[in-house]
Structure 1
Amino acid sequence: MAYCPKCGIKVEEDNRPCPLCSFHIPKVNEKRDAVVRVRKFPKTANPYPAYLRRVLNRIFIFITLLVFLAVCLLFYIDYEVNEMFTWSRYSNLSILAGWVFLYFSFGYLQSFYKVIIGIGLDAFILLLGLDILNGSLQWFFPLAFPIVAGTTVISISYWSVIRALSVRGFNMIGFFFMAIVILSMWINFFIHNYRNETNPFNWLIVTVLQIIPVLLVMIYVKYGMPERIKQKIARKFHL
């Protein structure tokens, strides 16, 4: 349906001129005008993420080349000096594990869970390899394995709780400190167990002494800190 531009009555598209005022009604292609109106404005797009991704890719490629050169150089120096590979095996394994850690840190995996699991596996392989190169598996299974596994599980649990409860602001910091305390308790237990110094009573005392300061700080931030200071800190750290 069209309208007469002079008198404003509704007219059929094929009525030429207007049946009321005899004004000549120009022919309008509504489909073409709709396409023109749609294409008038360009699509909105933020070029910054693509630019940042290209920069990070170039940096990572440069680091990869440096890692390759460093590994080759260390193997060459070790073989020239000792006529066999000795210390370079430890160094190069650590360098390669660091390169894998950078790969997960450069945002190539979008899932936070995959990043945590990937870093955990990287730490497992590194520590297992160092213990094997040492000639025997003395400390990996009783010490390194449970510590890395506990760190991975606690990290995944922390992120899951944050997402499930939609925790924001100071509450996120509080949950983070609680996760750190639990992780410290876990590591402390296996270190003492590895040294055959495990005393449940002493371990319980140390655990309580670690939890109490964190709880006191969380209670003060929740109920005692002035709202003005909370807002200032939140703006400062984008909480």
Structure 2
Amino acid sequence: MAYCPKCGIKVEGDNRPCPLCNFHIPKVNEAKVAVERKFPKAANPYPAHLRRVLNRIFVFVTLLVFVAVSLMFYIDYELNQDFTWSRYSNISILAGWGILYFSFGYVQNYYKVIIGIGLISLVLLFGLDIFSGSLDWFVPLAFPIVVGTSAIGISYWSLIRALSVRGFNVIGFFFIAVVILSMWINFFINRYQHETDLLNWLIVTALQLLPVALIMIYVKFAMPERIKQKIARKFHL
């Protein structure tokens, strides 16, 4: 509906003479499109920039690894007409490159990282032992230690996620995992040296876990809340 700007009466349309005063009514656009004001999206360019820098560094390191491995194989073969010392050096370099791949964040899943690093460690230790002509220490020592370490790491992370553990409990469970891992390694070292006493090992493990468990119980039930909050703010727990 339009109005005559001269006499003010309502008219049916626009861009036509007013029926009362014959004034030419200008065209008025009644369907105004609402203009939506859009704020710019807040984006942090730092993660993308850091990812590009890490990619370049990793590519550069990969090229260095390829050159180093090729050069050592070439020098070893030229000097000895066979691959001798270069096998040990190169498998260690390749294992380090594999661990670096996980360290650069190309794999985000914690379980895959633990399993991947565990497999790389097994391949490295197997290669170092088999190059010596036998598997004297890989099967009784290296294999159970690496597998046990990986299993404890996966169990620790699964427990933290399943129980939604936060704050002091994370530290407590971490120390428990470290004690169990230390005793696990100690058990297979003693077994490799034929000095294993299972009962004694269980008693020592329990005695090492007892202080950590007592500290966790004290923090949970006896420590004043004021001190808890102060420590939590201090260490960002």
Other structure's SS at 1:46 match: coil
Kindly state the Cα deviation for residue 164 of structure 1 after the two structures are TM-superposed. Answer: 1.1
From 2, 10, 16, give the equivalent of 2:2: 16
Q: What amino acid is aligned across from residue 117 of structure 1 in structure 2?
A: I
Q: 1:87 is matched with which residue?
A: 85
Residue 135 of structure 1 pairs with residue 121 of structure 2 = no
Residue 27 of structure 1 pairs with residue 30 of structure 2 = yes
Measured at CA, do residues 26 and 118 of structure 1 come closer, stay the same or move farther in structure 2, by a change above 3 Å?
A: same
The gaps in structure 2 that reach 5 residues or longer are 11-26
Q: What is the number of residues matched between the two proteins?
A: 219
Q: How does 1:107-118 map to 2 (within 5 A)?
A: 107-118=105-116
Kindly state the Cα deviation for residue 182 of structure 1 after the two structures are TM-superposed. Answer: 1.4
From 189, 192, 203, give the equivalent of 2:190: 192
How many angstroms apart in 2 are the aligned matches of 1:50 and 1:117?
27
How many angstroms apart in 1 are the aligned matches of 2:126 and 2:44?
44
Q: How does 1:1-239 map to 2 (within 5 A)?
A: 15-17=1-3, 27-30=30-33, 33=34, 36-37=35-36, 40-223=38-221, 225=223, 227-239=225-237
Measured at CA, do residues 82 and 197 of structure 1 come closer, stay the same or move farther in structure 2, by a change above 3 Å?
A: same
How many angstroms apart in 1 are the aligned matches of 2:90 and 2:64?
12
Say what the alpha-carbon RMSD is for the aligned residues.
2.6
Kindly state the Cα deviation for residue 26 of structure 1 after the two structures are TM-superposed. Answer: 5.4
Other structure's SS at 2:2 match: coil
Q: What amino acid is aligned across from residue 46 of structure 1 in structure 2?
A: N
Measured at CA, do residues 66 and 228 of structure 1 come closer, stay the same or move farther in structure 2, by a change above 3 Å?
A: farther
Q: Which shows bigger deviation, 127-136 or 60-69?
A: 60-69
Q: What amino acid is aligned across from residue 64 of structure 2 in structure 1?
A: L
Measured at CA, do residues 188 and 54 of structure 1 come closer, stay the same or move farther in structure 2, by a change above 3 Å?
A: same
Q: What amino acid is aligned across from residue 73 of structure 1 in structure 2?
A: L
Other structure's SS at 2:195 match: coil
Query: Normalising by the residue count of structure 2, what TM-score does the alignment of the two structures yield?
Result: 0.81
How many angstroms apart in 1 are the aligned matches of 2:57 and 2:231?
33
Q: 1:6 is matched with which residue?
A: none
Bigger Rg, which one: 2
How many angstroms apart in 2 are the aligned matches of 1:188 and 1:53?
40
Measured at CA, do residues 17 and 160 of structure 1 come closer, stay the same or move farther in structure 2, by a change above 3 Å?
A: farther
* Alpha carbons 1:17, 1:25 under 8 Å: kept: no
Kindly state the Cα deviation for residue 230 of structure 1 after the two structures are TM-superposed. Answer: 3.6
Query: Normalising by the residue count of structure 1, what TM-score does the alignment of the two structures yield?
Result: 0.81
Q: What amino acid is aligned across from residue 163 of structure 1 in structure 2?
A: R
Kindly state the Cα deviation for residue 70 of structure 1 after the two structures are TM-superposed. Answer: 2.0
Kindly state the Cα deviation for residue 21 of structure 1 after the two structures are TM-superposed. Answer: 9.0
How many angstroms apart in 2 are the aligned matches of 1:205 and 1:78?
51
The gaps in structure 1 that reach 5 residues or longer are 1-14
Write 1 or 2 for the structure with the bigger share of helix: 1
How many angstroms apart in 1 are the aligned matches of 2:116 and 2:73?
27
What is the CA deviation profile of residues 67-102 of structure 1, one whole-angstrom value per residue up to 9, with x for unaligned ones? 122212322332343332211111110110010001
How many angstroms apart in 2 are the aligned matches of 1:226 and 1:80?
71
Kindly state the Cα deviation for residue 160 of structure 1 after the two structures are TM-superposed. Answer: 0.8
How many angstroms apart in 1 are the aligned matches of 2:83 and 2:44?
50
Kindly state the Cα deviation for residue 142 of structure 1 after the two structures are TM-superposed. Answer: 1.4
Q: Percent identity?
A: 71
Q: What amino acid is aligned across from residue 136 of structure 1 in structure 2?
A: S
